[in-house]
Structure 1
Amino acid sequence: MPAPNTSTSRTRSSSSLARTLAESGVFDLVYGHHAHVAQPWEQINGVWVVYGGGNLVGQMRVNTPRAWEQYLARITFERRGDVPDGERPYAAAKAEYLPLLMTLSEPGKPARVLDVNKSLADGTGDTARLTTAKEQIAKAVRLLGAEGIEEIGAVR
């Protein structure tokens, strides 16, 4: 079994904790972190659960290319109308992610965080690697079947 921090699957404990938090009625979003790779999203009781976006700026020099793929999550909340005391006054109106790819630093060449879709549209960077990152990130985000998630900057 792959190590939890290098697997796109969530762990049993992170899933259990996410469910407990989402069903508590206290939180509008559960945003996990620690895994070195992009992990999935799901909705539990109307609450978005984002298990982890990857390293972002980590310089892992390992043979785990997925450790260089990550995303930023963006959840837009809207205030509900009159809500009874004890109920959450906000609801997630939109769920989006921005796929990113980290380049490794080399002497005289700093690391970069690339907006995958912008780099593909501009024709900058390694097209094959950017395309693979885009596909792998999308697959990870939707691994649990979550619906209604939009990819920021995706060409339609």
Structure 2
Amino acid sequence: MKKSLLLIVASLCYIPSLSSAPNDNVINKSYFNQLSSELGVTVEQKALIDEFYYEYRSNIEVIPWGSLVSIREQQFELLTETELDIDSLSNFIDQIHQYEKTVVLQEMKFKHSVFNVLNEHQKDKLGRIFYRDLLNSQRNF
């Protein structure tokens, strides 16, 4: 039983976004506006970035968020069962992976498009900003 409970806990810890609302998984537009300002993007670059963002949002909005609700319901059912059904756990983990794969794929497509709009100086500056933000986030832990 302990091993079964550890499997469930490990699978739940693997996907932190399950503890948040679906909109928390969407890239924050104001963050990219701030980032664009820091990078000194041109009006043309900003227009392209906005276009990529709206395409990203329209792709994200078609993700069946109901499946996230279903995953959360299954999570509760698995936690309350006295005996762990390995097939149910496997199905649960597969659903989580599919959900995350879809979200991450759309996010990466958007970020890749934005990155390709930037010039070399902006790309270098972006790397420094991400490194700064990474250091700041580590200090907060």
TM-score range normalised by the length of the shorter chain? under 0.3
Q: State the structure with more CA Rg.
A: 2
TM, length-normalised to structure 1: 0.24
Larger strand share, 1 or 2: 1
Q: Which one has more relative contact order, counting CA pairs under 8 Å at least 6 apart?
A: 2
Q: Which has the higher helix share?
A: 2
TM-score by length of 2: 0.26
